[in-house]
Each structure stands twice: as structure tokens, then as C-alpha cells.
């Protein structure tokens, strides 16, 4: 499956690429950075086959969605929330099960707090939270300036990103053989490299999650599960425990031999846990 976003819809004046699989309870999968809906390619079909209606999409500025030319267009975590609200309207969905990974988890946290009636359950997978991001390595890179990073030699950028992406998984050999080039092709090249820094890196700002700290307890009004790679070096498990403690009634499951890109290392487990939460909350 080469893409998880083969259709398009205009929301908020921008083109968003998406796809829909199956029928049944609506589950919306929200990817993180530096990735796209492609990261759900093994999880989405498993959910579909289990009788779930799966909605995947690429965030604005990511993947096959529009990459706005103007820097005035907000592609931050906060900026993605109203677009998700409009997406649900376009899909004619009143209440959904939300699943978010990485910064997609932050989008889902904000969405659930600001639009609680639209959410049946929430699954957070290796999600950024509090002031857990960006990493020290990324902060150092950002000090060079977005304009400089956008124009650095393509070969060096691709090599750097390849190394970075490989550190997001436990099984690096399999990821290198099966998937890493698909990730790289979206964030490299004349368009991909520039838009990666403009629409993703430029918005690596922990205020989008830090300002939720006092409101995370509100998420406890929903069924919430937290899934985390035991070997995640991008968002270490300490953050999972802190998030778990902040959300009353949430469950926490650490996945062995699993890195930050949990859907690459443990897609069957991720799908199974999502199915279980959905099945228990279908009202």
C-alpha cells in the first residue's frame, strides 16, 4: 500500500489528502512528524478488517496534502485543530474515536479538550506532551535558522534525515529495507525539503502542549489509552508515565522491542489495542 491518502477535500481553504477504509465505528488516525498517513499503512487495513471505518489523512503541509507557499498559513499543532474539526464535518461525522501519534497526539489532545462532544475515545501513541519536544538534537539543528536549513545541500539533508528516521524504530534493518525511502521522499527534494522545514520544523514549539498541562485532567472524562514504545528514544517512556498520571482513569501499555514509530515496530499490537478500546465504547 503506497499511500493512505488517495482522495482530496477542501477544508479551511486548503486541500487535504485523505482516505476512508471499511465500514462501522469511525476511527480517525492522526499522524505525526516527520511522517504522513503512510505510517498507518499496516494498522488501517487491520482495523478495516475488524469492522471499523478508518479515516486517514495527511496534515496540512505534510504528505500528499497541500504545502502552502505562504508562511502565514498556520501548520502548527494548534493550526491543525480547526482543520480536523472541518474534516469531520466534511466526512459527516458527529462523534469519532481519535488516535494520534507524536504531534498528532498533541492535535488530538487539543481537539478533545476543545471539542469534547465530538470524541468517543482517545488513543495516544508515543505522543508529545508537556515540554517533551523538540529533542535536544532538533533544537540544535533549529538554531541554524529555517532559511539555512531549507537551502542546505540535498544529499546531506537526505543522509541526515535517514539517520534520524532509523533512530525512530527498534527494528532498523526491516525499516531500512521496507519503508524509510517512502518517508524520505516526502521530506526531501526541491519541494519536500523546503516544506519540511517550513511546515514542520518551524512549528516545533512545546507551548502547544505545555499550555494544556492544567487541562489534561479533562481528558479523563473520555476513555483514554496511552500506547508507548518501550525503546522510544525520541519521547522516552518517562513522558508516558507523566501523561498517564495527568489523565485520570487512563490506561498505559508499554510495548517491548518498540521505538517511537510504534506503528512500524508493532502494528498488530497497535491495531489490537485500538480495536479493543473502540469495541468497548461504541455508544
Beta bridge partners of 26: 53
Domains assigned to the chain: 7-280 (3.40.50.1820)
From first to last of its 283 residues, the chain has per-residue pLDDT tens of: 467 999 999 999 999 999 999 999 999 999 999 999 999 999 999 999 999 999 999 999 999 999 999 989 999 999 999 999 999 999 999 999 999 999 999 999 999 999 999 999 999 999 999 999 998 888 888 988 988 999 999 999 999 999 999 999 999 999 999 999 999 999 999 999 999 999 999 999 999 999 999 999 999 999 999 999 999 999 999 999 999 999 999 999 999 999 999 999 999 999 999 999 999 999 7
The dihedral through the CA atoms of 183, 187, 192, 198 has a sign that is positive
pLDDT given for residue 1 in this prediction: 45
* Residue 14: φ, ψ to 5°: -130, 150
What pLDDT was estimated at residue 137?
A: 84
21: left (phi > 0), else alpha (psi -120 to 50), else beta?
A: beta
Whose grid coordinates read 498533541? 106
- Give the number of other CB atoms < 10 A from CB of residue 247: 23
φ, ψ (nearest 5 deg) of residue 148: -65, -45
Alpha-carbon distances, residue 159 vs 44, 60, 61, 175, 195 (angstroms): 29, 25, 22, 15, 17
The pLDDT tens digits of the residues spanning 168-190 come to 999 999 999 999 999 999 999 99
Any residues with CB less than 8 A from the CB of 26 and at least 6 apart, and which? 53, 55, 91, 93, 95, 96, 97
Cα separation, 212 vs 92, whole angstroms: 28
- β-sheet with 224-229: strand ranges across: 7-11, 14-21, 52-57, 25-30, 96-101, 119-125, 224-229, 251-255
What pLDDT sits at residue 2?
A: 60
Task: Let me know if 39 is exposed, middle or buried by CB neighbors in 10 A (0-12, 13-18, 19+).
Answer: buried
Q: Write the pLDDT tens digit of every residue in 132-166.
A: 999 888 888 898 898 899 999 999 999 999 999 99
Beta bridge partners of 224: 122
Give the Cα separation of 128 and 118 in Å (integer): 22
Amino acid at each position: 500500500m503506497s499511500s493512505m491518502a488517495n482522495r482530496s477535500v477542501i477544508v479551511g481553504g486548503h486541500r487535504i489528502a485523505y482516505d476512508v477504509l471499511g465500514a462501522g465505528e469511525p476511527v480517525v488516525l492522526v499522524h505525526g512528524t516527520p511522517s504522513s498517513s503512510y505510517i498507518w499503512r499496516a494498522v488501517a487495513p487491520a482495523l478495516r478488517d475488524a469492522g471499523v471505518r478508518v479515516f486517514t489523512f495527511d496534515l496540512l503541509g505534510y504528505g500528499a496534502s497541500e504545502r502552502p507557499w505562504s508562511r502565514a498559513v498556520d501548520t502548527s499543532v494548534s493550526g491543525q485543530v480547526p482543520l480536523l474539526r472541518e474534516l469531520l464535518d466534511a466526512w459527516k461525522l458527529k462523534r469519532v474515536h481519535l488516535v494520534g501519534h507524536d504531534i498528532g497526539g498533541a492535535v488530538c489532545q487539543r481537539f478533545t479538550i476543545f471539542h469534547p462532544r465530538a470524541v468517543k475515545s482517545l488513543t495516544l501513541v508515543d505522543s508529545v506532551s508537556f515540554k517533551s519536544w523538540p529533542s535536544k538534537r532538533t533544537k540544535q539543528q533549529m538554531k541554524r535558522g529555517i532559511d539555512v536549513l531549507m537551502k542546505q545541500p540535498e544529499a546531506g539533508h537526505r543522509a541526515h534525515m535517514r539517520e534520524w528516521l532509523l533512530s525512530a524504530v527498534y527494528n532498523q534493518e526491516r525499516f531500512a529495507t521496507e519503508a524509510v525511502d517512502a518517508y524520505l521522499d516526502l521530506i526531501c527534494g526541491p519541494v519536500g525539503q523546503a516544506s519540511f522545514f517550513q511546515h514542520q520544523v518551524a512549528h516545533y514549539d512545546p507551548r502547544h502542549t505545555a499550555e494544556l498541562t492544567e487541562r489534561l485532567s479533562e481528558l479523563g472524562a473520555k476513555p483514554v489509552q496511552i500506547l508507548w514504545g518501550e525503546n522510544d528514544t525520541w519521547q522516552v517512556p518517562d513522558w508516558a508515565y507523566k501523561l498517564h498520571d495527568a489523565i485520570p482513569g487512563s490506561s498505559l501499555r508499554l510495548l517491548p522491542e518498540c521505538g517511537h514509530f510504534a506503528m512500524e515496530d508493532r502494528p498488530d499490537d497497535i491495531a489490537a489495542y485500538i480495536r479493543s478500546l473502540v469495541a468497548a465504547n461504541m455508544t
